[in-house]
Structure 1
Amino acid sequence: MAANTLILLGGMDWLEKSMQASGLVDVASVYKSRNKLTKPLFKLQYHTKLLYRYRHVWYDDWKNKLNQYRTVILFDAFEDTDIIEYIQGRFSKIRIIIYYYNPIYNSSLLNRIISAGVEVWSFDIRDCKEYGLMYNPQFYFWNIVFPEKKSKDIKAKSIAYDLIFIGKDKGRMPLLMKLNKYLKERGISLFIGICPDKETRYSSECKQFFIKSIPYNNYLDYLKRSRCVLDIVQEGQVGLTLRIMEALFYNKKIITNNRSIQDMKIYDKNNVYILGIDNRDLVEFIKDSKCEWDEELKKQYIFDKWLHRFFDIQYDIKGL
C-alpha cells in the first residue's frame, strides 16, 4: 500500500519518531539543522528569493535518496514551491502529496502549489470544500515515540486538574481568561499555560498564564492528570485538532468551541461539550463520571488509516 513512501516534516520530533516506528513509511525533516550562523542566511534566502535555484542546499539528506520512493507526502512545513519543483525536476514520476496539517491562510501559495500539478489534501473539511482539495482527517498513534534526549514519560495516575489548556495564544487569550474566571469561581481546578504571541502586548493579568514551550511528553503528563481537555479553535476552522485526538486516545472529555464536531462520528454528548451551543451545566459536565471513548472509533483516526486513505480511492470519510 504505502511501500516506497517518504513523509517530509518540519522537524516535529515526536511526530517524526512515531511515524517512523510504524514501519510503514520513511520519515525525514524537510531542512537540515541550522545553527546561529546559518539560520539568518536561511531566512534571508527564503524571504528574498535570493539564489532561488540553490535552495536545495538547505534540504536534509532525503534529497539524495529520492530514487528509492514512489510517493512523497509533504506536510505544510514550507513557504514556497521550491521543494515541489526540486522533486519534479529530478524524478517526474514520483507522486507528490501536499498535506495541510493546519488551516490554510496563504491562498496565494496554495494556488501556486495547485498550479504545480500535485495533489493537495487537508485535515479541514471546510478548506477542502472552499479550495477544491481532498480530505483526510486528523490522526494519532496508539503509542507515541519520543526522542531519547527528551525526559522520560511519567505514567501519571492521579487526577490533578479538572481542565487543562496548553498551547500558543493565537488570539485565544480573551476567551481563555473568561473561562478561567468563570470556572475557578465555581471550584474547578484548571491549568492554563499559554505561549504568548511575539507581536502582542499583554496585560499583567494575562502574564500569569505564560509558559515556555514544553516537550510533548511533558505536555502529555498534564493531559493524563486531567479530566477534560479545552479545545479552542481559530475562527473558521472546522478540522479536528490534535487536542481532540489526544482526548480521544487518552479517554478525556472535550470542551470545545468547534461547532462542527456535532456533525461528526466523534461527537458523544457524554464526552463533548460545545461552547455556545450546549445549555447543560458546564461544571456538572466537567465533574461527571469517568470518560471512556469507543475503541472502534479510535481505530478510524490511527496513523495507519490516515496513510491508507491516500492509496484507496474508495476511502470512507463520511462523518470523520
Structure 2
Amino acid sequence: MKRTLVLIDDLYYQYGLRGKEEAGILCLPMLRPARPGLAVRAARKLELSVRAPWADRWLAPWMERIGECSQVILADAGNSFAVAGLIRERWPQKRLILWYRNLVQASQPPGQAPPGCEVWSFDPGDCRAYGLGYNPQFYVPSPACRAGASGPWDAFFVGRDKGRRQLLARMEAALQAQGCSTRFCIAGVNSPRLTYAQVLQGIAGCRVLVDCKCSGQQGMTLRPLEALFYGKKLLTNDSRLAGEAFYHPDNIFIWGQDDPARLGSFLHSACRPVRPAILAQYGLERWVERFG
C-alpha cells in the first residue's frame, strides 16, 4: 500500500493532524518548536534556506519515518519550500507535493518550488493563474468540539479584519435584528488572536458560524467545513458553496444571494443532518486520494 507523509507546521494544528496515522497516511509536524523571537525565526529560515550542515536541528523527527513513505505532502508555510528542497536533495525518488492552503500572494510564489516538485492549491483562481493542481480544503474534527452542541451565543465569527470590517458589521447587525446573540472576534479590533482551542470553544457555543471570505479568494475557508462536521448552520458570503455536495438551503444562507426576508426562518429552524458519505468527501483520506 502506498504510504503518505503529510508535514504540517504547528501553526496548522487546527487540521487535527498531529501524530495522526491511518489509512496509510502519517501526519507529523514539519519543524521543532522554536523559542519565541524574530531573531530565532530568522536564523531558522536562513539555515534551512541555505541548507546549512546544522539545519537539521530545526526539523521534527519525521526523517526517521520518511523511508516508509513513497510520497510527501507539505502544506505551505514560511519554511515549506526550503524543507521541500532538502527532501528533494536527500530523497530524490520520493514524490513531492507542495499544497497551498492560503492564497499564493500570502506565501512564496510557485516558481520558487524545487525542481520536480508538484504544486497544488486550495484556490481555483490561483490554480488557473499559476497552472497548479487543484485540491480543496479538508478537515479532521476534534473530539473537544461536540457536534450539535450549543451554548451562550447564537452566532460566532473569528478572524482578522482583512478589509472585511464593514461587511462583518452588516452581517452582525442582520443577525441581531433577528434576535440572535452574537460573538464576533475580530483579531486586533475587538479581540486578541484566539488559539484554535479557543476557536473550538466558540464553535461549540454557537448555533450559527459566520464565514466571510476575503476579496479575491475563491477557495473554501475552514469555516464551512467546521460547520459541516460540527452540525452548525452557516452564514457565508461564498456563493460557490451552492455547488458543494454538502450544500442545503436549510443549513447554509448565502449573504448577497439568498432572500434577506428568509434569514429569520433560516436562523430559527433546525439544522439538517449530513450523510456520513458526504462528510467523508471532505476528510483527510479523500484529500490525499485526490492527489492521485
**Is it true that 1:190 corresponds to 2:155 in the alignment?**
no
Q: CA deviation at 1:16?
A: 5.0
Segments of structure 1 that go 5 or more residues without pairing to the other structure are 146-151, 197-206, 312-320
Q: CA deviation at 1:14?
A: 5.0
**Is it true that 1:120 corresponds to 2:119 in the alignment?**
yes
Q: CA deviation at 1:235?
A: 1.1
Q: CA deviation at 1:25?
A: 2.1
* SS of structure 2 residue aligned to 1:67: helix
1:179 corresponds to: 171
Letter in 1 for 2:42: K
Per-residue CA deviation, residues 176-200 of structure 1 (Å, 9 max, x unaligned), is 223223432442211111222xxxx
Judged with a 3 Å threshold, the aligned counterparts in structure 2 of structure 1 residues 17 and 84 are, in CA distance, closer, same or farther, namely closer
Judged with a 3 Å threshold, the aligned counterparts in structure 2 of structure 1 residues 219 and 267 are, in CA distance, closer, same or farther, namely same
Letter in 2 for 1:128: C
**Is it true that 1:307 corresponds to 2:279 in the alignment?**
no
1:285 corresponds to: 266
**Is it true that 1:133 corresponds to 2:135 in the alignment?**
no
Q: CA deviation at 1:155?
A: 8.2
Judged with a 3 Å threshold, the aligned counterparts in structure 2 of structure 1 residues 24 and 14 are, in CA distance, closer, same or farther, namely farther
**Conservation of the 8 A alpha-carbon contact between 1:56 and 1:86:** no
Q: How many residues align?
A: 288
* SS of structure 2 residue aligned to 1:167: strand
**Is it true that 1:52 corresponds to 2:50 in the alignment?**
yes
**Conservation of the 8 A alpha-carbon contact between 2:125 and 2:218:** yes
Letter in 1 for 2:74: L
2:251 corresponds to: 271
Q: CA deviation at 1:19?
A: 6.4
Q: CA deviation at 1:21?
A: 4.6
Q: CA deviation at 1:96?
A: 0.3
- Separation in 1 of the partners of 2:243 and 2:147? 34
1:261 corresponds to: 241
Cα RMSD (Å): 2.8
Q: CA deviation at 1:232?
A: 0.5
* SS of structure 2 residue aligned to 1:117: coil
Per-residue CA deviation, residues 283-318 of structure 1 (Å, 9 max, x unaligned), is 33212233323333212112111122223xxxxxxx
Q: CA deviation at 1:90?
A: 1.1
Q: When the two structures are superposed, what TM-score results if normalisation uses the length of structure 2?
A: 0.85
Q: CA deviation at 1:246?
A: 1.0
Q: Which moved more, 1:12-21 or 1:245-254?
A: 12-21
Task: Calculate percent identity across the aligned residue pairs.
Answer: 28
Judged with a 3 Å threshold, the aligned counterparts in structure 2 of structure 1 residues 225 and 75 are, in CA distance, closer, same or farther, namely same
2:215 corresponds to: 235
Judged with a 3 Å threshold, the aligned counterparts in structure 2 of structure 1 residues 186 and 107 are, in CA distance, closer, same or farther, namely closer
* SS of structure 1 residue aligned to 2:28: strand
Alignment of 1:33-72 (within 5 A): 33-36=33-36, 40-44=39-43, 46=45, 52-54=50-52, 55-72=55-72
Segments of structure 2 that go 5 or more residues without pairing to the other structure are none
* SS of structure 1 residue aligned to 2:155: strand
